[in-house]
Structure 1
């Protein structure tokens, strides 16, 4: 299964390079089901893998003028605050076993995977619908951009996902960015969010296997290079519905596995 995991890691980077998001939502299932990593630890690993991969993509987009630093900071600052509150305060207070239903223990890990699956299904519908179109506005709405950043920070903090599927629409609608600039700016935001979340986990002494992280991140980096190059030739809008169907299937699989196929 690990061989499939390394191949899937390439898809993480490929998605980030092509559409500025989506790859992070794959990382948790890959780590949990293909590498058998505990979901809580997988959220920490996901932050590292996604963050370092997004950083590599930032350089390419910066060189071609696709990074809008001001919009990224208005989004990232409240997002980082939410991440720190969730990961350093709230998650630590959640017990490993929340409650029991008919001898079925609802654990913290189970809750993370179910919420993640619901998030994946919701994200898939937004990708499949093909309804994201950029509206013409007169100025950037930085207050709304910051508010959405805070929401994405909650998601990133709890689930270890970069929230790119929310960041892209926010940058299109509220920062008035063209698609390619939204992709590049999204990568910068994902890097900032992921880096802060991961460093916070180091502070609370989360055990980290850096050799494993380096191997997965290197595969994702290869995917990022491929995706960034392809993004110059392929319209990201055309890829979103295809990726959306893939995410939908994975989300349904996680729910079925966690509810009915638990070993």
Structure 2
């Protein structure tokens, strides 16, 4: 049987002396417990109920047979999204009993020193080229309010942030955050919702790039967010990729946008039937 919160709750009630309808205790576990005398049946006409022969015996039985060593702690683990693997082992003997992401948080990068606060301690974010900082305890991570957060879709653009600083001079101080790996994206959104800083999304100039911004960021952040649309977007798109446009058109061709500031970019993409990859904005080092 699959270990679920409902199953654990029923076992706790039985261990505490409750009598439950047999119809609510279906499955091989409960059948085995009846066969082994851990659960006793009582008939009420056509209906049957089950109770534990002894609460402590039931607890010892599920520990030895089903590797659930602490019913109450296991119940708490189901309701605690932050339950550690150590606590799961203590309760169930299995660190994989529930799916938990050990690494929560997101990557940050900056080409200029930014003083931030993490758990009440000042830290300096100024990564050496080829090395980034991972903020795990993002719930206790803050940056100065004048720092603009720039979210980067693609890994190469995130890595070479310093080679694109000419694009972001208008914003003053910027902190780059990575959209990847994608399973960290909800952590990033939660943090962006918590802080007052402006968010600018930097992605591909194509239909999918607009859809990502609209659904993953603008939908949650509203006008605190904006899509980065470079001044030369028209010229870049006119020299872009037609195949990319054709591939994305069936899925995004009739896309409705919420942020009307994006309309000129969307119109240009449809006019030229092309899209442009953001990697094209990375300058060569000797031209920085």
Report the TM-score when normalising by structure 1: 0.21
Asked which structure has the greater CA Rg, the reply is 2
Structure that is richer in strand per residue: 2
Structure that is richer in helix per residue: 1
Q: RCO higher in 1 or 2 (8 Å CA, sep ≥ 6)? A: 1
